[in-house]
Amino acid sequence: MGTPTLERVLKERVAALVGEDLAAVEAEIRRELASPVPLIQEMGGYIAEAGGKRLRPILLLLAARLAEYRGPRAVRLACVVEMLHTATLIHDDVVDQAPLRRGRPSANARWGDDASVLVGDHLYSKSFAMLVRDNDRSVMDALARSTVSMTEAEVFQLQLKRSGSTTEADYMRIISQKTASFISACCRIGALLGGLPPAPTEALTRYGLDIGVAFQISDDALDFVADQDRLGKAIGADLREGKRTLPLIAMLERVPSAVGERVRAMLHRRALDQAEIEEIRQLVLAHDGVEYARARALACATAAKQDLDVFPPSEERETLALVADFVVERDR
CATH code of the domain containing 169: 1.10.600.10
User: What integer pLDDT is reported at residue 145 of this predicted model?
Assistant: 97
Q: Which residues contact 328 (CB under 8 A, 6 or more apart)?
A: 214, 218, 294, 297, 298, 301
Domain extent at residue 124? 6-329
Distances (CA, A) of 63 to 58, 68, 263, 317: 8, 9, 43, 8
Q: Would residue 107 count as lying in a domain?
A: yes
The answer to whether position 123 is within a domain reads yes
**What does each C-alpha distance from 73 to 17, 58, 69, 126 come to in angstroms?**
16, 14, 9, 16
Instruction: Say if 295 falls within a structural domain.
Output: yes
Q: What is the mean pLDDT of residues 306-317?
A: 98
In a domain, 297, yes or no: yes
Q: Give the residue-averaged pLDDT of 172-184.
A: 97
Show the beta-strand stretches assigned E in 65-209: 100-101, 104-105
- 191 falls within a domain: yes
Going through the chain in order, the beta strands assigned E by DSSP cover 100-101, 104-105
Residue 267 has pLDDT above 90, yes or no: no
Q: Does residue 38 sit within a domain?
A: yes
Q: Judge whether residue 251 has pLDDT over 80.
A: yes
Domain contains 1: no
Bridge partners, residue 100, by sequence: 105
Domain count, the chain: 1
3-class SS at 105? strand
- Split at pLDDT 50, 70, 90, the class of 58 is very high
Decide: helix, strand or coil at residue 234: coil
Nearest Cα neighbor of 220 from 199, 244, 241 is 244
Residue 180 DSSP label? I
pLDDT higher than threshold 60 for residue 319: yes
Spatial distance between the Cα atoms of 285 and 295, rounded to a whole number of angstroms: 14
127 and 28 in contact (C-beta within 8 Å)? Answer: no
d(CA 165, CA 22) in angstroms, rounded, equals 41
pLDDT of residue 1: 39
| Region 268-291 average pLDDT | 91
Pure H helices in 164-227: 168-175, 181-193, 198-225
